[in-house]
Amino acid sequence: MLADTKIPSLKDVARIKIIIVGNSGVGKTTLLKNFLNGGVTREKYGTTVGTVSETKIVSVRSRDIPLTIWDTAGEEKHRCITPQFYRNSAAVLVLYDVTNRQSFDDLTKWLLDVKTRTESTTSIVIIGNKSDLSSRVVTHYEGCAFADRYECVFRETSALNDDDIVTVFEELVIKICDKIERGLLPTAKHGVHYNNDAPRLLLAAPDLPKSPDLPAAPALPQARGCC
């Protein structure tokens, strides 16, 4: 039993940490900029070096919720920088490029990093980006099946032509807020910083069931439809 059963509420939230990972060139920065700007941009961005954070306030249930979103480098030479930014994250977006088979094949590696460096309460969304391009080589079925296998949410977006990007973030933030109100994200290590006068749980929130371990991903069958 908890000695103090008070749970922090949305009004107590000082900020929520979200990070975006994936191979270089999959569109992480463009996706983030589209969300920050509230719509589609035609501007193209160069490769992120190291990590960059952006902030945005979103409204959920009549409360202003501050987000800190980290855009991380995807190049192999920068992989040693990224691990520290997994810590204390409420959610991770893992991106691949539907026109780049290697970026999809590397999802297993990225998910292994995420699951070994975050809490079991961390929300994970796998995103197939650049879905508007005709040069697609990874089917929607493959992305959906991969996400189902590892119990992650799956979405497809186009960082240049599709305003569904905003919807992806909105759905994610609502899911995080649901966890806050259930007492599942009580401390900064769970990715949520609270105001100093917020009520505190005296015991950590219960761990959520862990997803399956991540062996090398087997080859998927030929796509026959959509999940």
* pLDDT higher than 90, residue 66: yes
On whether the CB atoms of residues 58 and 67 are closer than 8 A, the answer is: yes
Q: What is the per-residue pLDDT for 48?
A: 46
Q: Is 213 exposed, middle or buried (0-12, 13-18, 19+ CB in 10 A)?
A: exposed
- Beta strands 91-97 and 51-60 are unpaired
Residue 5: pLDDT band (50, 70, 90) is low
For residue 127, give both structure tokens: 């995103």
Q: How confident is the model at residue 106 (pLDDT cuts 50, 70, 90)?
A: very high
Outline where DSSP puts E strands in 23-173. 51-60, 63-72, 91-97, 123-129, 153-156
What is the per-residue burial (b if ≥16 Cβ within 10 Å, else e) of 14-25?
ebbbbbbbbbee
Cα 109 to Cα 142: distance, rounded to the nearest angstrom: 17
* C-alpha neighbours within 13 Å on the C-beta side of residue 201: 20
**Least-confidence region, from 30-39, 64-73, 123-132, 214-223:** 214-223
How does the average pLDDT of the chain come out, rounded?
Answer: 81
Domains and CATH numbers, the chain: 10-194 (3.40.50.300)
